[in-house]
Amino acid sequence: MCGRFTIIPTVDFHERFSLPRGPAIAPRYNVAPGQEVPVIVRGDGNRLVPMVWGFIAPFVQDPATGRPVINARAETLLEKPSFRGAVQERRCLVPASGFYEWKKEGRRKVPFYLRLPGEPVFAIAGLWGVLRDAAGGEHRTFAIITTEPNRLVASLHDRMPAILPRGKEGAWLRPSPITPADLPSLLAPYPAGEMDAYPVSGRVNDPGNDGPDLIRPLPGFEK
C-alpha cells in the first residue's frame, strides 16, 4: 500500500504538468490519509484541484459516514463497484516527490523514503470522486492506485504506488475509456533502477510532523 508521501514542488511545477500559472504550492513532507492536497484532473485542460486523500464510493448516501479508501489495486479496478465508474470518468494525477514504506526489523518497523532521483516531481495514478452532503456541500476525495512492487520496493512492501512515466501521464488523464488491455502497460511497476530508497527518522510516524528533516537519511546512509 501507499500510506504516506511527499510533494515538494519545483519552480517549474505548473509547466511540468501543463497547468495554468497559479499560486506557489507549499511543500509537504508527510502527507497522510485524511489530509487535503492538490490533485490534477482533466477539464478543458489540466486543472489543479484540492482533494482529501480517502476516496468515498459514489453510492455512499452520507459522506460523513462513508468509509474512505486510500488505495485501489490496479488489478481489480474494473471489477470493484466502488471504482468502475471512476476509472472510466474520473482519473487523476497525484503529484508527488517521494513516498514512505516501513521495513520490519525484529519488533520494530523502520521507515524508508523512496524517490526518483531523476524526477524531483512525478505523478502517481489516482481516481477521484465528488459527493454532496445534505447541506449541498461538495466533498472531493481521491485514492492512489497501487500495483505489484518492483525489485527495490519488494524488499520493503508487497505493493507500491502506480507511478506513471512522463509519457503515460497524458494517456491516464485523457477522457477516453480505459479497457482491461490498457491497464497492465499504464500501471506497470516503475523501474527499480530509476529509484532509490534509504532509512529515515521515525518522526515520520506522526502525521503531525512535517519538514525537510523527515526525508533526511539516517547517519551512515547519506547520498
pLDDT digits (tens, 9 = 90+) for 5-45: 999 999 999 999 999 988 889 999 999 999 999 999 998 88
Question: Quick one: average pLDDT of 79-88?
Answer: 89
Active site residue 148: no
Predicted confidence at residue 53, as pLDDT, reads 97
Question: Does 1 score more than 80 pLDDT?
Answer: no
Predicted confidence at residue 62, as pLDDT, reads 67
Question: Does 114 score more than 90 pLDDT?
Answer: yes
SS (H, E, C) the chain: CCCCEEECCCCCHHHHCCCCCCCCCCCEEEECCCCEEEEEEECCCEEEEEEEECECCCCCCCCCCCCCECEEEHHHCCCCHHHHHHHHHCEEEEEECEEEEEEEECCEEEEEEEECCCCCCEEEEEEEEEEECCCCCEEEEEEEEEECCCHHHHCCCCCEECEECHHHHHHHHCCCCCCCCCHHHHCCCCCHHHCEEEECCHHHHCCCCCCHHHHCCCCCCCC
Quick one: pLDDT band at residue 223, thresholds 50, 70, 90? low
Predicted confidence at residue 63, as pLDDT, reads 66
Active site residue 92: no
Question: How many other CB atoms are found less than 10 A from the CB of residue 178?
Answer: 18
Question: Does 58 score more than 80 pLDDT?
Answer: no
Domain ranges of the chain: 5-200
Quick one: what percent of the chain has pLDDT higher than 90? 73
Question: Does 60 score more than 80 pLDDT?
Answer: no
| pLDDT tens-digit series, residues 147-158 | 999 999 999 999
The reported pTM is 0.94
Predicted confidence at residue 107, as pLDDT, reads 84
Question: Does 165 score more than 90 pLDDT?
Answer: yes
Q: Which of 92, 101, 119, 169 is catalytic?
A: 101
223 close to 196: Cβ distance less than 8 angstroms? yes
Predicted confidence at residue 57, as pLDDT, reads 81
Comparing 136 with 91, which gets the higher pLDDT?
Answer: 91
146 close to 2: Cβ distance less than 8 angstroms? yes
102 close to 109: Cβ distance less than 8 angstroms? yes
Predicted confidence at residue 133, as pLDDT, reads 74
Q: CATH for 5-200?
A: 3.90.1680.10
Lay out the sheet containing 196-199: strands in order across. Answer: 28-31, 5-7, 98-105, 108-115, 196-199
Quick one: pLDDT band at residue 128, thresholds 50, 70, 90? very high
Q: How many CA atoms lie within 13 A of 61 on its CB side?
A: 0
Question: Does 221 score more than 90 pLDDT?
Answer: no
Predicted confidence at residue 115, as pLDDT, reads 97
Predicted confidence at residue 67, as pLDDT, reads 82
Q: Which of 2, 92, 119, 169 is catalytic?
A: 2
